[in-house]
Structure 1
């Protein structure tokens, strides 16, 4: 999942944001800083995971995605900060203390609270009361500092029919309206109420009156009540869909008495003072009329964000399981990767993807050293440059050491002499080629017969010298001796031939784990590796094993 980030950039000085991302994702700050720097340069998540492991400390896709999500959130916070500071500066309300509070805020909800507090206000009951001159009376109750006059005397002093205040109750109500708005503007009070409703509130859903007797797909939500902290995301999303379709109504409910007590604990200095009843009335007015709808809306937003994250995670896991499910069904798979100089890394996994065993093998002959390669080329060129008489090729002159010791001394000399004097005998050879060839065959025939006789006599002597098999020897003993000899020869070949050893290891792994598929990469050496594997499969008779080429995307 690739996130679209806003235009705000994270500078190297924003160490606080890097620290918060590190704490929220449980990733070291050095890895977070390196990942953010790469993202700021335009790198994508998959690129960072596959090609910048040394910079990020080997972070996987899930961790890089988590950093991306938190980075996107804090970019929105920075953008919201800039808008709020500009708005307050234009209004002339920006102070150093307020700027410090904004710059130390890392929550969009908190910045939204500050925006509500200082945004241009519409005409409210509190502003009307201020216009009637009741603000000093509200300050008297807010400061809670008694003087020579009683509370009733203070209230009576603000009764003025010309301003629309004819009774004591009207003056007191105006003061309560002003106090209620001051409570609403208290940043810490809103934060405490939001935490209270999140931790102790309930999501309540009910059916609209017109659908009471109708059975719908939302029947189970007609009268449901679940805690905010533990309601499953799928249920919350279902309730939201029911509300959107006009079948359900929902709300976030909490204990109003506890909420009012939470407010009073912040504003009342002495519970038994003469100011407490008026402040309590102001707290109830503020919570029920102003704070509760705002806090409920913010908690709904927080629930929606959590539900969306959980739904995306569930969809991601389900899709990953679907895409990563074995296309040929569950089976044991061997993976072979072509490495440097033809060395291959082998790994075997079971039908659930668990690692079973690994090895390092070689399936092709190692490259010749420069000196060996030069010597081979020299011998090949010498063999090709030998002249050939008619009816005699260079292969005729290449004899094995055994036959060389058994040939006569005259035959090689005659052949070499015949070849070396080819130029002089060109005319005669051209007239009598058949005669010369017959003569050569006549000269070789007695010697060959003699060689055959000597070879037969030698073989007979060897057979006589071999110890005779004892009477009564079982065929199983002979088979065991043959098996031991075969294993000994294989061990000797494995010790000197890495290709033979590689095939032995491959054969043992296939038989041990009942491998049914071999996966190879598509990079350097893939074609050569595939050819070598196909040759091995044919030679071993593994007709039920398939070879699959897998690219970087799986």
Structure 2
């Protein structure tokens, strides 16, 4: 397929214009990154965002692989001297890999099969004779093929049927029709295989379960797959066999009946049962799994994006508390810049309860430092620790508040090389308390130190393709970091290596040079960083902020390539560069005519708007648009809950069937998808996002199982 046709195909699939696809592919081939294109090449792409650009990149890569496979298949068939113009045209016209493989299937060199064995015995002409379905005597014809290897007429006919069965199964058009029938009419069946392997009855609903394939939702696919993998469940697909046989008869059965008709009928039944059914079932199970994996990865990605973009608690002293029973609760005081000031451990809970000592230590820390917020990890002993903290705050009549912080992945960070480099003298558990405190101060800067899949905001993340998951999550991290921007004088190498264009080595070099020479005072100083070449500088510099720089533009999201434009706009407004971000500048710039400026400076209106926005609000943080964490001063127990009670909570996880909300009791409550809002909800992500502060009402309490059902539908 020609490039122009391919790009039109991508444009149609992604619902954008062909010239946008052309521009994106051209920019990518020049070595530009997705964040750079999204932010600084809007005029060329028509303001496509990172997700759209990544979609073009992925689809272009798939089509390149598809085209390579087409060429290879055409070459392989041509080598067998079986390539016809019609077949080549069909292969070249294919838009998905499955279609190419279907067309190649009859020509694929097979390992030893019943059909290849029959062909080796010289029975292919007999198979052709059977397929012709003439009125000539079949036994007479078959007798011609008796040899030392073929001892009877039945053996000869069996060989002919084996050859035809494989041919029927390899027919691309028939496979496609059967696939469609199975998707439309097939039923997924599951039954219990070894119940003793399911001690907690996790898969009980699937012990005797059936559902039309077309209605199996992604999270059920992954649950069934896991149950099958663990040996608990047996899974199969029940097909519309008679309907499928009829599809095959229409293709190969001639209207008149003769001796060959029965042979063809028998071959159709055998071909489907032995070759087509298992193959199509595998394909459908694979497709269901891929669809389910993509959905699970999408949910995880959206949850991760919202987790990373939680607003920072700026300029706050935080006391981080990593709760535990036996090993004690680790405490870490962190100042308003994230610097660790003090570490301690207390034992307020059994089995080593020293509550009075714990209380004394805790109060001393509150009096010693101007603590604004206590960040309590949500792991083991979290609620008991919350009660302990709430009692003390009540007793002291303190202005400090506390917040429950999702600590997923904190232990992974604590044992990592990054943590050892940061805090070589601290124990693993102590590092965890620092991480919990810092997560509240700047979630993005702290969470990038952890492997994305360890942050615990997904569903079935261990049951999906790990490569696809990691690729998707890395893209989310990269997008979030570049949307926010990075202070080059405070960022860790973990954060810097997610900046557009920067490798791990370059990120580490920036930190090393900063440590040796002190703070950067200008963006241009970064040009001297080892391994940071001209292209890398172009890609990264717009996302790197040098706050308090000699040139105030260095602390904004304006790319140096647009500095002359920015100064020109400021001149038009009668301002100096020192005035950016002031109320005076905002008022003056608002008066400017964007259309006139675009004509005068010979740049697009999109670029003018972007530069103007950053001149008016140079320190704007996109995270400020997200809800602040829910601060608390008192604790709620399970026993306090009553049906109909109104509460505020924080969305901790979003899954296919609803959202889990932290309402301050031991167990997060579930708002089922049907109770998120009035009317039909296609997916919970359409209504809520991780980190949202929501009003909920208690719907039902199962104290025995420790489960709370919530609703977001106000009582009537």
Match of 1:260 in 2: 245
CA distance in 1 between counterparts of 2:18 and 2:197 reads 55
Match of 1:240 in 2: 225
CA distance in 2 between counterparts of 1:296 and 1:27 reads 35
CA displacement, residues 47-87 of structure 1 (integer Å, 9 cap, x when unaligned): 22111211122222332232233223222212322332343
What are structure 2's unaligned runs of at least 5 residues?
314-402, 404-551, 553-569, 577-582, 591-609, 625-716
Mapped contact 2:181–2:244 kept (Cα < 8 A): yes
CA distance in 2 between counterparts of 1:222 and 1:100 reads 48
Of residues 532, 550, 554 in structure 1, which corresponds to 2:620?
A: 550
Match of 1:441 in 2: none
Of residues 10, 15, 20 in structure 1, which corresponds to 2:9?
A: 20
Of residues 137, 152, 165 in structure 1, which corresponds to 2:151?
A: 165
Mapped contact 1:218–1:242 kept (Cα < 8 A): yes
Mapped contact 1:134–1:175 kept (Cα < 8 A): yes
Displacement of 1:236: 0.7
Query: Quick check: 1:64 aligned with 2:134?
Result: no
Matched residue count: 346
Mapped contact 2:168–2:268 kept (Cα < 8 A): yes
Mapped contact 1:45–1:64 kept (Cα < 8 A): yes
SS across alignment from 2:47: coil
SS across alignment from 2:141: helix
Mapped contact 1:22–1:29 kept (Cα < 8 A): yes
Of residues 31, 44, 52 in structure 1, which corresponds to 2:33?
A: 44
Mapped contact 1:126–1:181 kept (Cα < 8 A): yes
Of residues 83, 88, 96 in structure 2, which corresponds to 1:99?
A: 88
Match of 1:208 in 2: 193
CA distance in 2 between counterparts of 1:525 and 1:259 reads 62
Alignment of 1:147-226 (within 5 A): 149-155=136-142, 157-158=143-144, 160=146, 162-166=148-152, 168-209=153-194, 211=196, 214-226=199-211
Shift in alpha-carbon separation, 1:160–1:68, aligned structure 2, 3 A: same
Mapped contact 1:159–1:165 kept (Cα < 8 A): no
Shift in alpha-carbon separation, 1:173–1:235, aligned structure 2, 3 A: same
Mapped contact 2:184–2:213 kept (Cα < 8 A): yes
Bigger Rg, which one: 1
Of residues 284, 294, 301 in structure 2, which corresponds to 1:309?
A: 294
TM superposition score normalised by structure 2? 0.43
CA displacement, residues 447-472 of structure 1 (integer Å, 9 cap, x when unaligned): xxxxxxxxxxxxxxxxxxxxxxxxxx
Mapped contact 2:169–2:175 kept (Cα < 8 A): yes
RMSD: 3.9
Mapped contact 1:134–1:158 kept (Cα < 8 A): no
Mapped contact 2:194–2:232 kept (Cα < 8 A): no
Mapped contact 1:53–1:59 kept (Cα < 8 A): yes
Displacement of 1:324: 4.0
Mapped contact 1:158–1:171 kept (Cα < 8 A): no
Of residues 103, 111, 123 in structure 1, which corresponds to 2:100?
A: 111
Shift in alpha-carbon separation, 1:366–1:134, aligned structure 2, 3 A: closer
Query: Quick check: 1:295 aligned with 2:273?
Result: no
Mapped contact 2:197–2:232 kept (Cα < 8 A): no
SS across alignment from 1:549: coil
Displacement of 1:89: 4.5
TM superposition score normalised by structure 1? 0.55
SS across alignment from 1:165: coil
SS across alignment from 1:162: coil
Mapped contact 2:190–2:207 kept (Cα < 8 A): yes
Shift in alpha-carbon separation, 1:271–1:225, aligned structure 2, 3 A: farther
Displacement of 1:274: 4.8
Mapped contact 2:137–2:259 kept (Cα < 8 A): no
Shift in alpha-carbon separation, 1:292–1:46, aligned structure 2, 3 A: same
Shift in alpha-carbon separation, 1:263–1:211, aligned structure 2, 3 A: farther
Displacement of 1:289: 0.8
Mapped contact 1:242–1:248 kept (Cα < 8 A): yes
Of residues 72, 95, 119 in structure 2, which corresponds to 1:83?
A: 72
* Larger helix fraction of residues: 1
Shift in alpha-carbon separation, 1:200–1:75, aligned structure 2, 3 A: farther
